[in-house]
Chains A and B, each alone.
Chain A
Amino acid sequence: MGLKIRLGNGERRVLKSSDLYFIQKLLKTMRNPKTRFDSREFLEKGQDYLFNYVGKNVGGIDEGRRNFLKGIVIGVAAATVVGVIPGLRVLVPPVEQVSGFPKSLLLDSSGNPLKASSIPVNSPIITLYEYPLTGEPNFLLNLGDKNGNPVSISPVEVVVPQTGKTYKFPGGVGPNNSIVSYSAICQHLGCTPPYIHFYPPNYVGPSQLTAPEPDTLTAQALLAAKQADIPALIHCDCHGSTYDPYKGGAVLTGPTQRPLPTVLLEYDSSTDYLYAIGALGVATYPEGADGVPSQDPTKDLDTSQYGSSVGDKTQVQASTNPFSGS
């Protein structure tokens, strides 16, 4: 648009549309009673007054220019928002996906590799280590007979009462094949030590029937131990589930419907070190596998994302002895 003038053959622009807009705005302002243009003062002071008046009331900014500037401001603001977006990742907690079980060297409480032959036989002290994830406690047991001599634990077929399926427990490791390891999370409702723990032979007797928690054995558990002819057992005080540590953590008495999952141990006879290498039994991982025994114990962590992997070392903690009080 704009105003054009014909000169001979060519057209020439005299006024741009923005100029027209400006004039229109200026005239409007001059007519406005609030900002009326004082012609008398104009006569007195000349163009200075006019410039001053225009600068003050109309401003030098035309609409197009203002929109361009607004565009830049909005553009920068939009770019800032785009720049903030990756920062929003701060709201997403870092999740450590654990795929597969690590091979973890067991360390003693002072941080040195644990010597398998130094693990006391039938110790009532709850010895735990975390594996495969932090916050997942497991028992470490050196099993023996009534007299405290280590007992060789042989491989055995373990039945899962919930489904009737079976899986193969590989037996004990260590110098006497007497060291076993089970999850310390009760398969019934998830109680952890000290409520679930190992009862050495001298505590598997009628006197425990009246012992205070967490050391109370049920009569049912005592009977089951007698029938299975085992000197010691794992018992959970919460609801009375009993497991057979000599037979792969198999269920002795309910209410649990599943055996305790086994942690697979590897024994290095040259160094006397123990390694945790996987888990076996009803799959705790992946969650919700409902009693179906794990088929591939090295690959079952795929969906587990709560907690972080213990990595290639895990420390054994000899925590409380629940019997020391009695």
Chain B
Amino acid sequence: MSLSKRVSNWFSERLGLNDLPFFKTPDYMYHVNEWLGALVAASFIYTVISGLILLLYYNAAAGYQSTETIINQIPYGSVVLYSHLYGSYAMIILAYVHMFRNYFAGAYKKPRELLWILGVLMLVLTLGASFLGYSLIGDALAVSAVDVGAGIITSIPQLSFLIPIIFGNYDTGDYTRVLALHIILVALIGLLFVFHFFLAESYGMMPSRKVKPKAPAVYTKEEWSKFNPWWPRNFVYMSSLIFMTWGFILAIPNALAYLNGLPQYFNPFMNPKPAPPPNSPAAAHITTYPPWFFLFLYKIADFTSDVVVFLMIGVIIPLVYLIILPFIDRSDELHPLRRKVFTGIGILMITYLIQTSLWGDLAPGVEVSVKDQVVAYLIPAIIVALGLTFIKPMNDQMKLTRGISPMTGILFVIVSLLFAGSVVQLIDYPNLFTFAITAFMGSLFFLGSKTMGKLVLSQRIPNNAVPEVKTAEVSASNETKKKFAEILMSVLFILVVIIVAQMWTIPPTGYASNLFGVDLGLVFLMLGEVISLYHYVVYKKPIEKEE
């Protein structure tokens, strides 16, 4: 027995890795789609670690100054700070993706209701922690965001007792409360995560709709005990996902740190640097807007002057809806097209979230008349309603859909965005020209959505459609791919060594120091990729049945 095998066995025996009560995974589930929660957890863990490092330096009595000190004087402080920010961004985005994926998959249904509710609560906590974390910078935007937040609370007289509880002596530049609550909320997320995780493990990942088309969709103990054990395959696959997530979190903000002079409307999405301090002359020249994940709320605040109505539309109704969802959608159907009302609401929630956020970005603080609101929100609703009425759930055996290449996917996204943009233009400037463009984009969008719809709404190619005779061929091409993967791994190894050698020469502070973050991000990405390729070569079977 080789040494590595002995070491590995030693650990798996001591830690009882093979007896872990974790869900065993069937072959076909090694797909990012099934591991979105792991991505959220990876960004959570990254953000916690980087946050603890920042905690060593952050001084709540002087928020802005200590932020500046961290960026300018602490070795690689800006790398940690920017990636902490983007770690939380990644967590928010991935949490939404994770949530909506499970929404459309019907994963909130029996027996996973509690899992779903815990998840929704964690989303709320995440947004709350992000708001407080954002405020800790103490720049002009943070102070204005807090003022808006505090203003919302104050305008409901019964809630104004919360102001000192949440913000303490914020006005005098004391962020002690904000920092403490930031950490408290994150600790709560961690606590709920433990429950969320173990519940998920005990129910197991949700089987493919092909296998269990109705709720409750769970594998029986006998079924899943035959699947791949947690160690080593799941572990290998999971590490590749974690490292890749970390790679993006590190590489993107540190690369963006070199962008300068972005147009205003890119700032909330792409700028990892703090704005000027609130008491500086420069602060007078910036438009204040909240962080991107609250842009939608910011825009909704322009709809009405009544704070209660605002909170209802922006926070309470969507939240209550999501929490009680498992109890109002009581059918055992998992196919999105067999529960069209909920699918429609889900699509509209995503559409509205993106639409309102972009609106808030492009026209921050501009009041919106009721007529404009109706136009802006009715059109997507009508499109979705009509679309869902006419699309029928496809029979599993009826038709084979060919996969759509990523390129087509991107093209479709661009067409959709252009279509959305042209609709906005048409509303703003209703003339023949804009109408023609909208009609053109609309028809492209219609054609695209017809093709995409087939892919998105149908299920994957049924296995029995592939004749067994072809398997030899399949496995042969599989072998070529695996050879290619091995070569790629060697190339990546060489690249990593070169980058790492270069990383040692990067100065810890100053202009060049963010290159360290970019490089470290690339190294993590490549580590994740190498592990993923290893997983592919070693574990991937020529045919992975959905059983």
Q: Measuring CB to CB, which residues of chain A are less than 8 angstroms from any residue of chain B? A: 45, 47-48, 51-52, 55-56, 59-61, 63, 65-70, 72-73, 75-77, 79-80, 82-84, 86-87, 89-94
How far is A91 from B490 in the complex, measured between Cα atoms in Å?
A: 33
A61 touches B538 (CB 8 A): yes
- A87 with B496: in contact, given A55-B542, A92-B75 (CB under 8 Å)? no
Q: Please tell me if B500 contacts chain A, counting CB pairs below 8 Å.
A: yes
A83 touches B76 (CB 8 A): no
How far is A67 from B53 in the complex, measured between Cα atoms in Å?
A: 37
Q: Which residues of B contact A60 (CB under 8 A)?
A: 475, 479, 482
B497 touches A48 (CB 8 A): no
- A80 with B74: in contact, given A45-B468, A73-B531, A86-B506 (CB under 8 Å)? no
Q: Please tell me if B508 contacts chain A, counting CB pairs below 8 Å.
A: yes
How far is A61 from B523 in the complex, measured between Cα atoms in Å?
A: 27
A69 touches B486 (CB 8 A): yes
A74 shortest CB reach to chain B, Å: 8
Q: Which residues of A contact B506 (CB under 8 A)?
A: 86
A-contact 0/1 string along B32-63, CB 8 Å cutoff: 00000000000000000000010011000000
- A55 with B541: in contact, given A72-B490, A79-B496 (CB under 8 Å)? yes
B526 touches A76 (CB 8 A): yes
Q: Please tell me if B100 contacts chain A, counting CB pairs below 8 Å.
A: no
B65 shortest CB reach to chain A, Å: 12
Q: Which residues of B contact A45 (CB under 8 A)?
A: 468
Across the interface, B492 reaches (CB within 8 A) one of A59, A70, A76, A83, namely A76
Interface of A, secondary structure class, is: helix
A52 touches B468 (CB 8 A): yes
What is the size, in residues, of chain B's interface with A at 8 Å between Cβ atoms?
49
B497 touches A79 (CB 8 A): yes
Q: Please tell me if B77 contacts chain A, counting CB pairs below 8 Å.
A: yes
B493 touches A51 (CB 8 A): no
Q: Please tell me if B503 contacts chain A, counting CB pairs below 8 Å.
A: yes
How far is A68 from B503 in the complex, measured between Cα atoms in Å?
A: 26
Residue of A with least CB distance to B73: A94
Q: Please tell me if B107 contacts chain A, counting CB pairs below 8 Å.
A: no
B4 touches A83 (CB 8 A): no
A79 touches B537 (CB 8 A): no
Q: Please tell me if B161 contacts chain A, counting CB pairs below 8 Å.
A: no
A84 touches B520 (CB 8 A): yes
Q: A68-B486, A90-B79 are in contact. List 14 more A-B contacts (CB 8 A).
A: A52-B542, A52-B543, A55-B471, A60-B482, A61-B538, A69-B486, A72-B493, A73-B531, A75-B497, A79-B493, A79-B523, A83-B519, A89-B75, A93-B74
Q: Which residues of A contact B4 (CB under 8 A)?
A: 67, 70
6 A-B contact pairs sorted by A residue (CB < 8 Å): A48-B471, A76-B493, A79-B493, A82-B500, A83-B520, A93-B57
How far is A93 from B509 in the complex, measured between Cα atoms in Å?
A: 12
Q: Please tell me if B80 contacts chain A, counting CB pairs below 8 Å.
A: yes
How far is A59 from B56 in the complex, measured between Cα atoms in Å?
A: 50
B533 shortest CB reach to chain A, Å: 8
How far is A73 from B492 in the complex, measured between Cα atoms in Å?
A: 10
- A86 with B508: in contact, given A61-B538, A70-B534, A80-B527 (CB under 8 Å)? yes
How far is A76 from B499 in the complex, measured between Cα atoms in Å?
A: 11
Top 7 A-B pairs, shortest CB-CB distance: A89-B75, A83-B500, A51-B472, A55-B475, A55-B542, A90-B76, A79-B496
A21 shortest CB reach to chain B, Å: 13
B74 touches A83 (CB 8 A): no
A51 touches B471 (CB 8 A): yes
Q: Which residues of B524-540 have CB atoms within 8 Å of chain A's CB atoms?
A: 524, 526-527, 530-531, 534, 537-538
Q: Which residues of A contact B541 (CB under 8 A)?
A: 55-56, 59
Residue of A with least CB distance to B474: A55
B73 touches A76 (CB 8 A): no
B74 touches A90 (CB 8 A): yes
A-contact 0/1 string along B465-487, CB 8 Å cutoff: 00011011001001100100010
